Structure 1
């Protein structure tokens, strides 16, 4: 009973949200580097290039590039078994289409893996996490099939360079964000459905090719997909609401269907035909998709939606997706996200019933305003949130028999929030003294939740049930 002995406890970050050093050691510009600061009520802007009138949070972030030893040592103090990180594509290929990689960029991640090995922390590497090279805009980014080859070349460099050092890989972060945030997901300017579905197809193809390549390079490699955890309850038992919720989940889950099953589901093919959308399929592609299915399914879980008949076509919102409904039974965070621990157990069952693949929660956490007083941060609200979710995860393991590989809490150290670009929306166990405008000492402080999570890992989850 309880968590298995080999359960992978840890945390997760993204390069563009923590590293900073955006133009150091040959790094090129990515889509993340031209996203401005936003807020709870104002969307981030996308600029053509660096504009001095705006502040770009990714340029400095928390300067993990120069603080990685300190940060990884703090992760080790908590007892991390695994650390999910992403490689910054433009550190390796500054424009995305070079023939040869940037050695300085590869050396940085060599040093990261050296530190993780020192503390016996397993890396889980996301190959592309919301930072497509800006240099690929001349091709139309993921709209063009050439970008598939550029991505595969990039992934091949990583797989060969870090062979034996990295076993767990994710091809794309939250790939279904193509439907909701195409610029962030893939550097796509056009938001029409044909553009999004063309780009998604190319990412599916690229992912499948990399799965095949990873297995060819090292049989120990395990490659997963990463789903942005959108899960919905119908607004009522009215059949119209039920069908609308089914359609909403189809729009999200078809991404998993392709990567886990190796083909487009019939409901998606019918929809594409009705809407006159043509996929850029070439000879041999369907075999690649079929043979390049992922080894496991990972996903983020922050909230659940309520959907219904009036949800039709509403897939945009400042923080997640605005479906037109609210759940009266659930509290919300300071940023308006529902807090639904039981939904985590529901989501695990839904995904395992559908795919029968090992699962991993690679993002889960609470964004909140933390107050630093006398060098301490008392974040009982974060402890309560995580404890409630982990108890439901344990139920999925022990009651439902769901094979869950591990849990990497999102933002174990405070990082830039992807949705708003803010620092004040903090997730971490570790507080970083930096504000929304990049002002502060960058000093790291342990929050109360740091010691709580340390005990959770030390006891392999047994402490979750302590009063």
Structure 2
């Protein structure tokens, strides 16, 4: 007979009540809901995940080229991005898909090594420059706004070999690269994202190569990423803004951390500050710098462990000023919500020193949130709470939802789970907007199936399915593409809308 102690039962009831109440609030109104005037819709990809052509036309090796060619291989099925979705050659089809959906904009990234093969601005690769010029011009031909990410995970391997993001000189390497991109494309590109997901940039052990230096290398990386962003923003302000009149921001990945019970509110706040607060706080808070909880916790733990000073590097006053306010908007990638707690079971759970030992929380995903065909969970109330917290804690900055989407492990174009996901998350976003959150655009991840980093091609986020076996990389619209097209066409969220896939998406009026 199964027995559950009173404390466990209380916590379980608290979780279930929170979920039920939040879900009820978000799903109460099933009537069509209109998006604000001027609200923009788009989709996104990144260079390494779709372009392929990894070593042609002068492109040099990135860290992901290097990682995926290791022997023995370190990724699922030994997948690589060598060919990916072949977008280097099929970019016109990609733009055609944007037209079919009716996108206002398309967010893509530039491959640093396709533009600057040495990693430095001593040599600009003409073929790489031409590729991005052609893509941008093809989009503008059909009034699709290009939004460009400068860095989406693919650091030049040559720079990685001399320390990469842990080398303080990286802020100059990156800002030099940013200047080249502004010069080459800024006459047509008016939305720039400096760095995508700095937390993942600094904490993916197999990507950074610093697996045994958690709690040291990741903090060095975090500081240098922020300074690099600040320098790129300053360059745009001083050298390009007057003539190009664009906007520059950063893209943060942010999960929602829900306390398991009332006594875990502090643990959930700590998780948020360590995970995404370490990047949003230096830019958008009134004080700048890392969050106080990070500075205090890491300093105390460092002293206990015998370090002569904190493992968290300090910003100089000049660096604090450089980074603070260095964004015209807050780019936000959101995928997951976690239940969070802290109790005596955490003692000895994490290696010390390490990032997770410093954060000192435990997170998990309840089984009833999980989907058998996906690593994604459908927890829209977490998205709503995240947007509300950013509004309340960081002065309601202009917020761009730069990624949001559903990961399916299943093949096929009838993706009802993804359609349901988009309906619920768009609904949650509208709730936040109705309460005053300054959210200006939404980006579905992803335009098409692509190389999904550590999971290779098993994970499928695409509105369009990509045929990787035919050799032609055909893109076929899923049911979610039809749904998203209707949202863009009507500027209304109708959660009762059922797409009709009998009519080809390119023939719909």
Q: Judge same fold: TM > 0.5, yes or no.
A: yes
The yes-or-no answer on 1:209 pairing with 2:235 is: no
The yes-or-no answer on 1:348 pairing with 2:348 is: no
Q: Which among 226, 238, 241 is matched to residue 218 of structure 1? A: 241
Residue 30 of structure 1 and its aligned partner are, at CA, apart by 0.8
The yes-or-no answer on 1:303 pairing with 2:372 is: no
The yes-or-no answer on 1:364 pairing with 2:404 is: yes
Aligned to 1:228: 253
Q: Which among 115, 131, 136 is matched to residue 154 of structure 2? A: 131
Residue 273 of structure 1 and its aligned partner are, at CA, apart by 2.3
Residue 329 of structure 1 and its aligned partner are, at CA, apart by 5.2
Residue 257 of structure 1 and its aligned partner are, at CA, apart by 0.4
Residue 282 of structure 1 and its aligned partner are, at CA, apart by 5.7
CA contact (8 A) 1:62 1:432 kept: yes
Aligned to 1:432: 466
- Residues 1:270 and 1:280: Cα distance change in structure 2 (over 3 Å): closer
Q: Which among 241, 264, 287 is matched to residue 290 of structure 2? A: 264
Aligned to 2:144: 121
Q: Which among 438, 442, 455 is matched to residue 407 of structure 1? A: 442
Residue 137 of structure 1 and its aligned partner are, at CA, apart by 2.4
Aligned to 2:421: 385
1:246-301 residue CA offsets vs partner (Å, 9 max, x unmatched) = 221120112110122332232222234222215265673333223x5211111111
For 2:94 and 2:417, the matched residues in 1 are separated by 23
- Residues 1:335 and 1:410: Cα distance change in structure 2 (over 3 Å): same
RMSD, matched Cα:
2.7
Question: How is 1:20-31 mapped onto 2 (pairs within 5 angstroms)?
Answer: 20-31=52-63
For 2:235 and 2:274, the matched residues in 1 are separated by 29
The structure with the larger Rg is 2
- Residues 1:402 and 1:101: Cα distance change in structure 2 (over 3 Å): same
- SS at the partner of 1:193? coil
Q: Which runs of 5 or more residues in structure 2 are unaligned?
A: 1-32, 303-309, 499-509
1:184-231 residue CA offsets vs partner (Å, 9 max, x unmatched) = 3x5655533121111111111110011111122124221122111221
Question: How is 1:412-423 mapped onto 2 (pairs within 5 angstroms)?
Answer: 412-421=447-456, 423=457
CA contact (8 A) 1:149 1:206 kept: yes
The TM-score with structure 1 as length reference comes to: 0.87
Q: Which runs of 5 or more residues in structure 1 are unaligned?
A: 37-45
Residue 98 of structure 1 and its aligned partner are, at CA, apart by 4.8
Q: Bigger CA drift: 142-151 or 7-16?
A: 142-151
The yes-or-no answer on 1:454 pairing with 2:480 is: no
The TM-score with structure 2 as length reference comes to: 0.80
- Residues 1:178 and 1:424: Cα distance change in structure 2 (over 3 Å): closer
Aligned to 1:254: 278
Aligned to 1:284: 318
For 1:202 and 1:442, the matched residues in 2 are separated by 38
For 2:179 and 2:210, the matched residues in 1 are separated by 24
Aligned to 1:177: 200
- SS at the partner of 1:450? helix
Q: Bigger CA drift: 202-211 or 92-101?
A: 92-101
For 1:137 and 1:450, the matched residues in 2 are separated by 38
The yes-or-no answer on 1:332 pairing with 2:366 is: no
Aligned to 1:150: 173
Q: Bigger CA drift: 22-31 or 379-388?
A: 379-388
